[in-house]
Amino acid sequence: MRHISLPDFGTAAAWRTAARSCLSEGLSPADIIWGSEQTERGLFYDQPTTAAAPVNMTVPRSFVSLAETVCWHRDTDRFARLYQFLWRLKDAPHLIADRGDEGLAHLRGMEKSVHRCQHKMKAFVRFREIGNRDDARRSFAAWFEPTHHTVEPTADFFARRFADMDWRIVTPEKTAIFQDGSLSFAPGEPKPSLPDDASEALWLTYFRSIFNPARLKVHAMTSEMPKKYWKNLPEAATIPDLIANAPARARAMADAAPTLPPVRAENARQQLAAHMSAWNGPKEALPAAIHDCTRCPLHKTATQAVPGVGPLDVPLMIVGEQPGDQEDLAGLPFVGPAGQLFDKVAQSAGLIREDAFVTNAVKHFKFTPRGKRRLHQRPNSGEIEHCRWWLDAERALVKPKLILALGATAAEALTGSGANILRRRGSVEQLADGTPVLLSVHPSFLLRVPDACEREKQMVLFEHDLRRAVEMIAALTTRPGSQDMMAG
Ligand code: URA
């Protein structure tokens, strides 16, 4: 039986040397008792072992690094476990990658635990200044209580990080000393009494300020910063208070946070932005562009879009509501009953339709199917708004001196309001660009007036409106800018 007691310092390297030598002697795990100075000070004995064939093997690199870490684990079995696995590796090298192997799984668990301990040490060691601030190299000391024997394998990290100062990390079993750029180790010491650090108040303020109460997860926090470390962390004293006040602070943060606009408002904003932009294609392309329009769902049921018709260089633009059943089939505005009535009254009023650009506020026919018939439906404000883009494009091309708006829909599309059209009819309203709009009723309204006497009266008023349009055009084209003609 061979008894091997490994030193407290340089343990990993000593294990490697001892394991290599045991292998070369062909010692099986059962022939060795592994120990360390810490557990068996002074005990070192060697008994004759059964001679076996020396072993020559190439040890996988990943085992070397595994052993390098596991040697710093607190478990007293660690050296034996490592050698046992190494012994098995000589006949089955593939075991180093066998996740199902229990021996390897145990060693990997130990490796993970040591790595975690090293990580905590890097995060939670807190130095206090112990020397004179004016010295060429400032001196610091820290007290730490690691779970495993991690002072030695982790000290390099601190040596690189704090290379320009002298420091010592004191732990119960080992002390790492960095002096004048060289690292050494000494036995552990009881907890020293360290002075308060001048920068500690600053650190506490920083810690409080980076603490986000809205993201507090106590479980995750205590797993990341286990309570056993708290006693040596100055900032830990603030944690209970921060946790207790987190809900109230998170609520206050939420109340103070800017709110996002509701989805509907955002949609409306996007639609508005789309409407703000103007159609800017060549004028010949406008009718085709209107034909292809899919800006609102009306295009799905209508036969076709009906763009405005007429010369582009005329002073009068006539705007109706939307194509009717016949206009939808013909692709031309005002060819059905309402258009025929309009033509009749226009003729009496001396208005020549061919001298005007005739269009509609909405370019697609909106209807409800009733058997074989398609019953007209008034377009809603959204549809009017979507289609105003095309009306604006037509206006931009024609640049009329006067617009005759027939009915509430045309009034809404042009002036923004279709309300009280019977009261407003015959009056002139001005658009933002100064274009006058003469308001009147829609010819289909005349067709629907049930009382013959009243219908006659309305026909007279309508003819009066059209005559007024003719007079205004005459005045505007001979005396451009005349305000008198535009008064309501
Ligand atoms: N009504 C309108 O407003 N426009 C037409 O084109 C036909 C009927």
Which of these, 453, 416, 352, 476, lies nearest to 439 by C-alpha position? 416
Residue 338 Cβ inside 6 Å of ligand 1? The answer reads yes
Q: Supply the DSSP string of 175-212, one letter for each residue.
A: EEEEETTEEEEEE--PPPP-PPPTTHHHHHHHHHHH--
Is the pLDDT at 482 greater than 50? The verdict is no
Q: What is the pLDDT of residue 207?
A: 67
Q: Looking at residues 428-448, what average pLDDT do you find?
A: 96
pLDDT band at 128 (very low <50, low <70, confident <90, very high): confident
Q: What is the pLDDT of residue 271?
A: 67
Q: What is the pLDDT of residue 462?
A: 97
> Structural domains in the chain?
2-120 (no CATH), 125-187 (no CATH), 200-254 (no CATH), 283-486 (3.40.470.10)
Residue 383 Cβ inside 6 Å of ligand 1? The answer reads no
Q: What is the pLDDT of residue 115?
A: 97
Is the pLDDT at 256 greater than 60? The verdict is yes
- Between strands 32-36 and 2-6, the pairing is parallel
Is the pLDDT at 48 greater than 50? The verdict is no
CA of 300 to the centre of ligand 1 (A): 19
Q: How far is CA 188 from CA 70, 105, 119, 136, 261, in A?
A: 21, 32, 20, 27, 62
Paired strand residues for 317: 357, 403
Is the pLDDT at 470 greater than 50? The verdict is yes
- Neighbouring CB atoms inside 10 A of 423's CB total 9
Nearest ligand 1 atom, CA 442:
3
Query: What does the mean pLDDT of the chain come to?
Result: 88
pLDDT more than 90, % of the chain:
67
Tokens of 199: 């920068």
Is the pLDDT at 481 greater than 80? The verdict is no
The region of weakest confidence among 42-46, 204-208, 303-307, 453-457 is 42-46
Instruction: Look at 170 and 268; give whichever has higher pLDDT.
Output: 170
Is the pLDDT at 198 greater than 60? The verdict is no
Residue 440 Cβ inside 6 Å of ligand 1? The answer reads no
Nearest ligand 1 atom, CA 361:
3
Is the pLDDT at 380 greater than 80? The verdict is yes
Q: What is the pLDDT of residue 466?
A: 98
Name, of 32-41, 241-250, 453-462, 472-481, the range with top average pLDDT: 453-462
pLDDT more than 70, % of the chain:
89
CA of 141 to the centre of ligand 1 (A): 91
Rounded to 5°, angle at Cα 274 from 272 and 275: 65
For 280-289, how does the pLDDT look when each residue is reduced to its tens digit (9 = 90+)?
888 999 999 9
- Please state, in angstroms and rounded to a whole number, the distance separating the CA atoms of residues 321 and 328: 13
Q: Supply the DSSP string of 50-118, one letter for each residue.
A: --------PPPHHHHHHHHHHTTSS-TTHHHHHHHHHHHHHH-GGGGG-TT-HHHHHHHHHHHHHHHHH
Nearest ligand 1 atom, CA 333:
6
